[in-house]
Amino acid sequence: MPPAVTPPTRSAVPAPRLPGLPGASPAGAGRDPFFDNAKYLAIVLVALGHAWEPLTHTSRAALALYLTVYAFHMPAFILISGYFSRGFDLSPAKVKRLVTGVVVPYLIFEVAYTFFQHRAEDAPPEPITLLNPWYLNWFLAALFVWRLTTPIWQNLRWAVPVSFAIAILAALSPEVGNDLDLQRVLQFLPFFVIGLHMEPHHFRLVQRRWLRIAAVPVFATAIAVAYWASPRMNSSWFYHNDSVQELAAPLWAAPVMQLAMFGCAAVLIVCFLAWVPRRTVWFTALGAGTLYGFLLHGFLIKLSRWWEWYDAYAWIREPVGGVVVTVLAAGMMTALCTPPVRRVFRFAVEPRMEWAFRKRP
């Protein structure tokens, strides 16, 4: 069954801005519940991954779930970001949205995170630097770079292979450094470029019954493989923010691991999208607030580490504790994506700032 509302084709995307992804279309303008559902579910997986991380130190099962989620949750979110960036150009309206939806939130949260750490840890504040994204701000830095280079990727004949070559070269180059988290920007680049070149019918291909059925054993196999590999593999591969030299791996591991992890992510993204509801459901409207949830949940995640919440009670490390942590993390992210929270924090995440731009006829 096709989605209730078919997403616009590339030629019909005058301003592909979808709230929850900076630069997407205004609420109610040609919205497809499938994408809102996908964004909400992907952002919940982000919260679960962060909430499970302390449990991975004592539970192999938790580590297997953690690695499985990290194999595809950000690639899926980045691919959808690329899809809704297809209409980006350097026109005044798009540049304005890039500034208000990406650059300004980056500046605000870079300062907010820094002073929050100072207060929460009762330690001297770290120096504020715009070139070193603090925690979750790496995604805004990456989105800024990806968006600016969108016209290049849309005009190159072999854009996807070139993006893979760049990702592999980045993994081979410790000299890339940490400015703007460029390792992550470049290593995740292929997912954004692929999203740029996708069309609505590509997403309809995954909405088939046999794929939804096949996704069950695929995910079960992925978790089993992750369980087997967890004590044998460095989980830092999944973060895409280190070169092979920094991971103490041989040079040949860069192309092998980049392509292998892309293959795993691609399969799991297809299975994930096959499970995404195509109709409007109770959480569809929350898909418009995923960027709010993404940026705001970092404060609670960091508090849980600094104030050692996971060490407060021994039962948190037990299976029942894992269930409680999972429910609380999903509930937290759901609450942070709701309209009341978005209204309160819109000044920081989606400021209008008409005063800052020149008026054009």
Task: Find where tokens 């595809």 sit.
Answer: 72
Assess whether pLDDT exceeds 80 at residue 84: yes
Alpha helical stretches, state H, the chain: 33-52, 60-70, 73-83, 92-98, 104-121, 138-148, 150-155, 159-171, 182-187, 189-196, 200-205, 209-229, 253-275, 290-306, 319-336, 339-349
Q: Amino acid identity of 38?
A: A
- The mean pLDDT value for 277-298 works out to 95
Confidence tier at 361 by pLDDT (50, 70, 90) = low
With CA atoms as reference, report the closest residue to 39 among 266, 289, 343, 264: 289
Mean pLDDT for all residues in the chain? 89
- The mean pLDDT value for 312-341 works out to 95
- What pLDDT does 28 receive? 40
Q: Judge whether 217 and 227 are in contact, CB under 8 Å.
A: no
Q: What is the share, in percent, of the chain residues with pLDDT greater than 70?
A: 91
User: Could you give the count of Cα atoms lying within 13 Å of 48 in the half-sphere of its Cβ?
Assistant: 24
Assess whether pLDDT exceeds 70 at residue 94: yes
- What pLDDT does 129 receive? 81
Confidence tier at 15 by pLDDT (50, 70, 90) = very low
Q: Judge whether 85 and 16 are in contact, CB under 8 Å.
A: yes
Confidence tier at 30 by pLDDT (50, 70, 90) = low
Q: Judge whether 51 and 329 are in contact, CB under 8 Å.
A: yes
Distance CA(128)–CA(112), nearest Å, equals 10
Q: Which of 19-23, 24-28, 151-155 has the highest mean pLDDT?
A: 151-155
Distance CA(144)–CA(155), nearest Å, equals 19
- What pLDDT does 117 receive? 87
- What pLDDT does 3 receive? 37
Assess whether pLDDT exceeds 70 at residue 18: no
User: Could you give the count of Cα atoms lying within 13 Å of 230 in the half-sphere of its Cβ?
Assistant: 20
CA angle 184, 342, 305 (to 5 degrees): 50
Confidence tier at 359 by pLDDT (50, 70, 90) = confident
Assess whether pLDDT exceeds 70 at residue 17: no
pLDDT tens per residue across span 191-246:
999 999 999 999 999 989 999 999 999 999 999 999 999 998 898 999 999 999 99
- The mean pLDDT value for 34-56 works out to 96
Assess whether pLDDT exceeds 90 at residue 169: yes
pLDDT tens per residue across span 119-161:
888 777 777 888 889 889 999 999 999 999 999 999 999 999 9
| Cβ neighbours for 117, distance < 8 A, ≥ 6 positions apart | 123, 125, 126, 134, 302, 306
- What pLDDT does 21 receive? 52
Confidence tier at 360 by pLDDT (50, 70, 90) = confident
Assess whether pLDDT exceeds 60 at residue 305: yes
With CA atoms as reference, report the closest residue to 171 among 235, 71, 249, 72: 249
With CA atoms as reference, report the closest residue to 7 among 196, 203, 193: 203
pLDDT tens per residue across span 249-283:
999 999 999 999 999 999 999 999 999 999 999 99
Measured CA to CA in angstroms, residue 295 lies from 43, 157, 292, 302, 336 at distances of 11, 35, 5, 12, 9
Low-confidence winner among 91-100, 115-124, 201-210, 344-353 (lowest mean pLDDT): 115-124
Query: pTM, whole model, 2 decimals?
Result: 0.88
Q: Judge whether 101 and 140 are in contact, CB under 8 Å.
A: no
